[in-house]
Amino acid sequence: MTATKGLEGIVAATSSISSIHDGVLAYRGINIDELAERASYEETAYLLWYGKLPTKSQLLTLQQQLSEYAAVPQAVLEQMKLYPKDANTMAVLRTGVSALALYDENANDISRESNQLKAIKLQAQLPTLIAAYARIRDGKEPIAPLKDVSLAYNFLYMLSGEKPDEVAVRALDQALVLHADHELNASTFSARVTIATLSDIYSGITSAIGTLKGPLHGGANEAVMNMLSEIGTLDKAEGYIQNKLNNREKIMGFGHRVYKNGDPRAKHLQKMSRELSVLKGDSTLYDISVKVEELVTGQKGLKPNVDFYSASVYTLLGIPSDLFTPIFAISRLSGWTAHILEQLDDNRIIRPRADYVGPTNQRYIPIDMR
């Protein structure tokens, strides 16, 4: 038995949810470029869950369900008020989702019907949880979700209490479409591993949130923003990046396990970043990002991944950087839960082997002889 570090190149599941072939990402066979331009996040979530695009009435039903379930139990909000105000927002989300399970009497029902409904409920509740904590830690009261608005609209509204503008809603909606699923990425894999033991969906999602949190995965979008803030001005970009590369440090938002010739989602986020900069009349962040890309791609051949331009997009939307990875979770929730349903449809416990390389033929030494 020989191990492959990081399971690179290992095919660990069959799936019909999303595919990456020759650098093309597709959800249920539809190219992400087309979905990014034309689909709403709600349509995308439906597509991931049910395998086909919704009809008008199916979409309406989903939108009504998302509205109906968006409120979170008051007890969970009260607990959030007791969390430290400087808690890591992904830790808050992980704990919040875990708490939601305590108030769901069907939490441990793993039938397909119940899991599908819980997937919709979690999709509806995640934005509410995140927006509530963002306000609580700023000393404000959470804002109740609106009915009959899109998920992107509701999230922006619950953050500020103000009607978000159309451009911001469309930009966030498109970012959510782009992040919704990505084959067997680390967090999806951890959700599948958890659920394959026949554990409940909340456990699967808390595993996934914990996995997404790391800076080599979803946490990279916040790390990109920290880097752009440290750079500060365009003239400092070159020295900053050169110094990191000389020290063999990783540049966040670059590289990918699967894409070696570029991430097909990055161009959409770059375009969005450029357009939002123009609207804001300040292109500092965008210009620094482009310069960083030029340097990193030029010197290392590494291309930006989905996290790189999302950092400037979210900042230009006025969103604080510690909400970037939670926003990624809002979007990936549809992918995670689609994979959970798929795993349970044809389940087998996921249990690979390890190539043991430690000492052998050792004896027990009594404690007073060690």
Ligand X SMILES: CC(=O)SCCNC(=O)CCNC(=O)[C@H](O)C(C)(C)COP(=O)(O)OP(=O)(O)OC[C@H]1O[C@@H](n2cnc3c(N)ncnc32)[C@H](O)[C@@H]1OP(=O)(O)O
- The residues binding ligand X (CB under 6 A) are 6, 216-218, 220, 250-257, 300, 302, 305-307
Choose among ligand OAA, ligand X, none what residue 134 binds, the Cβ cut-off being 5 to 8 Å by kind. Answer: none
CA pseudo-torsion sign 38, 42, 48, 54:
negative
Selected catalytic residue, list 200, 263, 307, 322: 307
Q: Figure out which of the listed residues 47, 119, 306, 316 binds ligand OAA, where binding follows CB under 6 A.
A: 306
Residue 345 annotated to the active site: no
Residue 307 annotated to the active site: yes
Binding flag, residue 250, ligand OAA (CB under 6 A): no
Q: Which residues contact 128 (CB under 8 A, 6 or more apart)?
A: 70, 71, 72, 142, 145, 154, 158
Nearest distance from residue 237's CB to ligand X, in Å? 15
Binding flag, residue 334, ligand OAA (CB under 6 A): no
Q: Figure out which of the listed residues 170, 244, 250, 257 binds ligand OAA, where binding follows CB under 6 A.
A: 257
Amino acid letter, 139: G
Amino acid letter, 203: S
Binding flag, residue 228, ligand OAA (CB under 6 A): no
Rounded to an integer, what distance in angstroms lies between the CA atom of residue 107 and that of residue 149? 27
Choose among ligand X, ligand OAA, none what residue 311 binds, the Cβ cut-off being 5 to 8 Å by kind. Answer: none
Selected catalytic residue, list 179, 182, 217, 256: 256
Task: Measure Cα distances from 51 to 37, 63, 162, 235 in Å.
Answer: 19, 17, 35, 48
Instruction: Return the residues of window 183-202 that contact ligand OAA according to CB under 6 A.
Output: 185
Residue number with CB closer to ligand OAA (25 or 120): 25
Nearest distance from residue 6's CB to ligand X, in Å? 5
DSSP single-letter state for residue 249: P
Binding flag, residue 303, ligand OAA (CB under 6 A): no
**φ, ψ dihedrals at 196, nearest 5°:** -65, -15
Q: Which of 141, 138, 127 is nearest to 70 (CA)?
A: 127
**φ, ψ dihedrals at 258, nearest 5°:** -100, -45
Q: Which residues contact 325 (CB under 8 A, 6 or more apart)?
A: 89, 90, 212, 213, 218, 219, 221, 222
Residues engaged in binding ligand OAA (CB under 6 A): 182, 185, 257-258, 305-306
Positions annotated as catalytic residues are 256, 307
